[in-house]
Structure formats: structure tokens, C-alpha cells
Amino acid sequence: MKINKKIVIILVSLFVLTTMAIIYLKQIKPKTKPEPWFVMSRHGECVSLEKVINYDNLFKGAKTLHDMEMILQIKKIKYKIEATPPDRSRFIKFDVPSKDIGFMLIRKQYCQEFYEDF
């Protein structure tokens, strides 16, 4: 039985492309949900940022700090964010002076206690 060279080349090419695609797809990491922020009170007690956002109509519809920033930019409300360290990995001071809003955002591992009722 004689096999056509073109068919062999096509089959080998398909095998190589499929193998390469599988290897590539295994290397892609799924997007992980970002670590949540918590609003810290004076003595280290914390409440989730999501609960605080829902408390104020200014940030209605926001779910993250980025959403809050976008809302303020759209409404042309000045705000200030100071991060420590600058890469925003630990602490963020968030101020909206015209609305008398200011709080410290921290990661869960830095909270002393958690407020469940807010």
C-alpha cells in the first residue's frame, strides 16, 4: 500500500501543532482572584472593603479599590492614595477630602480582629 507523501506531511504537521498547543496551554496559569483589602480601625480591627463600599452611595456598584478609583475619576472627584511600600502590597492610605472620607487599607494578615457587623 502506497502512502501519499502529502498526507504523511499533513498528519505529522497536525501532530506537531497539537503537541505544541497542549504544551502551551499547560503553561498558561489561570487568573487568580486578587487578595482582598480590609479597612482598619484605630486599634487594628478590620472590616472588608466590600462592606465599606456598600455602606456609602458614592461608591455604589464598586467591588474593588480599582472600581472606587474609576468612580471617583468619572465623577471628577479628587482623591489621594498613598501606598506603603510603593508597590501597594501591604498598606494603602485612601483619602477623598471633599467627601470627608479617609481610611487605611491593609491585607488580612495584618488585621488584629474582624468586625462582622458593619
Query: Do residues 49 and 111 touch, judged by C-beta distance below 8 A?
Result: no
- Given pLDDT bands bounded at 50, 70 and 90, which one contains residue 79? very high
- Given pLDDT bands bounded at 50, 70 and 90, which one contains residue 54? confident
Secondary-structure percent of the chain, ordered helix, strand, coil, rounded to 5: 40, 25, 35
β-bridge pairing 113-114 and 45-48:
parallel
Flag whether pLDDT at 20 surpasses 60: yes
pLDDT, residue 2, reads 64
Respond yes or no on whether the N-terminal peptide bond of residue 86 is cis (omega within 30° of 0). no
The beta-strand segments (E) located in 49-117 are 80-84, 91-96, 101-107, 113-114
Rounded average pLDDT over 59-80: 88
